[in-house]
A and B are shown apart, each in its own frame.
Chain A
Amino acid sequence: MTAVAGKKSGSAPSVASTRRSMDWMALLRYALLLMFSALCLLPILILALTALKTEAQIFDTKWSWFFAPTMANFTAVVEEGNIVRNLNNSVIVSIAATVLTLVFGTLAAYGLARFDFIGRRSFGYATLLLRTIPPAVLAVPVFVIWAGWHINDTLFGVTLIYVALNLPFTIWLLYGFIEQLPEELEEAAAIDGCGPFGVFWRVVLPLLAPGMAAAAIFTFRLAWNEFILSFILTNRYTRTLPASISNYITDTGVEWGKISAAGVLIALPPLIFTFVAAKRIIAGLTAGAVKG
């Protein structure tokens, strides 16, 4: 229990002053939370508002909360060029990357956690180290290698690099979860006659659902949001949404209305995910770091 600041332990505060000070602290807490929340939400709100403004309203040097909204930017973005194609590409790549990462990652995490084999340490270390590779470091060689393998400008190529980028984190995350599962369950199933894969499939996987959900969200988030590698590895057929947003940064300035509208479209799925699955996300973030 946190003692109230300034009060020495041992002295029993009167009931009335405790309640007053506790109310005061609670109020402070709420105020902080509200303020912090407002700060978090404000820019996102600004993005949405800008998407609803006309060019004249945006270029007005007096920024305003109140204005007559217009859907013109959204209409323009949706009608323009290849937005449907880009959206499709984003969806395909994100889902494919998530599924593949989950499948391969879960398998690998289980293998790492439950078996001992030559190369286990190296694989484990590699997983930990490779988690930290910056996309910028990958940009040049992947650009060259993918072209050599003729998978640049393909959705497969983009998906592949996203899976590669996400596997280390996913493996690490799920490793932590598997670690915490009691082995007795698996041993019991093995005794019952399940082969090693059966144990994995029937006993471990269902228990891993929360971890897998967290991993899925993170993978989807990266695949959906990622800009720079997609920018480099796609052409007009395979471009994903974030890469296409750069078209609104023209030679002569930024088309703020349209780019905000496109930005809202891009931000929407992760925002929805967050509201639906915040608990999972937080569980994923804190897993492994916090030993319960």
Chain B
Amino acid sequence: MERRDFVKIAGATVFGAGLPFAGITAQDRYAKYRGQTIVINYPAHPHYDQAEKLFAEFTAETGIRIERDKLQYLRMKDRQVLEMGKPGGGDYDVISYVVMWKTEYVAKKLIEPMEPFFANAALADPAWDQRDIITGYWENITLVGGPMGYLPGPGAKPYGVPFGAETSVLGYRADLLQKHNLKPPATYDELLSACRLLKDKEGIGGLTSRGQTGHQVTAAWLMHLAPYGGLVYDSKWRAAFARPEGVRAAEVLREIVEMGPAGIPAYGFGEMQNAFLQGQSAFYLDTLAIFGPAQDPAKSKIAGKIGYAPHPMAARKAGMTGGFGLAIPRNSKNKEAAFLFIQWITSKQSDKKIALSGGNANRWSTVNDADLARKYPIETPVLREALKIADPNWRPLIPEWDHVSQQIIGQALPSIITGKSSAKSALEGVIGPAEDVVRKAGLLT
């Protein structure tokens, strides 16, 4: 080595280590993987529609090409399980998983823990900043191995990165509230009385809600369970949903259905959202995915008349948590490139771009960003408050939850909301099956 080279290298080492030559370091990071192709499996979902727009930029910047496998939500899981279970290597390098599947995927050893990647200096972006990710999202979507298997605490490790996560907000018709001199409800009592008043005086439904038998009606009930201080299972895995808090939440749901727009017992997500956007209900209480469509004149008749507030409180403040995260299958052949993609698409810059175009924000820096506040003046302040109360224990994130939500609780709630049985008796009636499920899973002893 000539002396000139030595100086060059030494200089680069000294200065390169300390100075923010982010560009150079970034190129080094991606250099090894230039030309590789990664396959991403993700759902047909508005947030990912926005994310797709950045794929070309990622390839331009890093040289890593992307092959997409967009799937209908219903088929994602079994396709993912099939691919990730293939012994020699599967098709997918990045998967978008629903939070409910996280414990199952980890238990079946299908996805990689994330910490080794973030600890790898050759791959990790020092500017990524894990603490900037919304706390509720991080704890809810990524942590496995802690208390009850899915909560933050001792033993919990991240197995993914939130992307397309969401919490709940209260949407209201600002014009109607103003007309009747109501302030935006901060508690459930205020919300329910406002619903009653507006239903009488304006003749439109109070609060729109999901209600379809199965997953949908369970989700609707869960919205109110946490604020009323209830749980589905207690920390010992005994069924807790028939205790007073759970019963109260079901009764509140019944009231909401009575005062809501007609047809709630069949509403899925789309119908529920539409009822609000077409002006058939005064309030909306569900995922913040409403932000985009609400201002879209193609979908919404009430654009410009909407206000938002955080999820009302009853016994406590608790917002929904849910949504998607990105993970790396254990049998992927391009794990490093996959990680680089995940890191890039969840970086501060990407998150801001996605949020500005209407996708879900993932980071505190994004929701505190001035540009975002400028573009979405009504939504952003509420978003900040809502994210602070997002509750990671909003529902049990165990593999059996799908079955419990669809076939057990989801079959008990319909008769409650239509008034055919009392909340207490209907919920008590399914304690047996619900506990059988967790007993069979080895959780309840």
Residues of chain A at the chain B interface (Cβ within 8 Å): 54-56, 59, 61, 81, 147, 231, 235-236, 246-254
Contact = CB atoms under 8 A, between A and B. Distances in A.
A56 B73 CA distance: 25
Interface in B49-72: 67-72
A149 to B, nearest CB: 14
Given A54-B298, A61-B278, A252-B270, A246 B72 contact: yes
B258 interface: no
A247 B71 contact: yes
Nearest to B41: A236
The 5 lowest CB-CB distance pairs between A and B, nearest first, are A253-B270, A56-B298, A250-B44, A55-B298, A236-B69
A250 B72 contact: yes
A1 to B, nearest CB: 53
Contacts of A59: 274, 278, 298-299
Interface of B: 43-46, 67-75, 79, 82-83, 91, 269-270, 273-274, 278, 289, 297-299
Contact of A254 (B43, B270, B298, B299): B270
Contacts of A61: 278
9 contacts: A56-B297, A61-B278, A81-B68, A231-B75, A235-B69, A249-B44, A249-B72, A252-B45, A252-B269
A251 B269 contact: yes
Contact of B79 (A55, A147, A235, A253): A235
Given A81-B70, A252-B289, A247 B270 contact: no
With a 10 A CB-CB cut-off, give which of A55, A231, A235, A249 has the most chain B CB atoms: A235
A248 B70 contact: no
B299 A251 contact: no
A249 B45 CA distance: 9
Contacts of A249: 44, 72, 74
A236 B273 CA distance: 31
Contact of B44 (A56, A235, A236, A248): A248
B279 to A, nearest CB: 10
With a 10 A CB-CB cut-off, give which of A54, A147, A252 has the most chain B CB atoms: A252
B372 to A, nearest CB: 22
A235 B69 CA distance: 8
Contacts of B74: 246, 249
Contacts of B73: 250-251
Contacts of A254: 270
B45 A250 contact: yes
With a 10 A CB-CB cut-off, give which of A61, A250, A254 has the most chain B CB atoms: A250
Nearest to B287: A252
Nearest to B44: A250
A59 to B, nearest CB: 5
Contacts of B289: 252
With a 10 A CB-CB cut-off, give which of B44, B91, B273 has the most chain A CB atoms: B44
A250 B44 CA distance: 5
Given A81-B68, A251-B43, A251-B45, A246 B299 contact: no
A250 B79 CA distance: 16
Given A247-B72, A250-B44, A251-B73, 13 more contacts: A56-B297, A59-B278, A59-B298, A246-B74, A249-B44, A249-B72, A250-B43, A250-B46, A250-B72, A251-B45, A252-B46, A252-B289, A254-B270
A153 to B, nearest CB: 8
A26 to B, nearest CB: 46
A143 B175 CA distance: 55
Contacts of B72: 246-247, 249-250
Nearest to B73: A251
With a 10 A CB-CB cut-off, give which of A55, A236, A246, A251 has the most chain B CB atoms: A251
Contacts of A250: 43-46, 72-73
B143 to A, nearest CB: 23
Nearest to A235: B91
A10 to B, nearest CB: 60
B307 to A, nearest CB: 22
A95 B269 CA distance: 40
A61 B278 CA distance: 8
With a 10 A CB-CB cut-off, give which of B70, B72, B273 has the most chain A CB atoms: B72
A251 B91 CA distance: 23
A235 B83 CA distance: 10
Contact of B273 (A55, A246, A248, A253): A253
Contacts of B278: 59, 61
Contacts of B274: 59, 253
Contact of B75 (A54, A81, A246, A251): A246
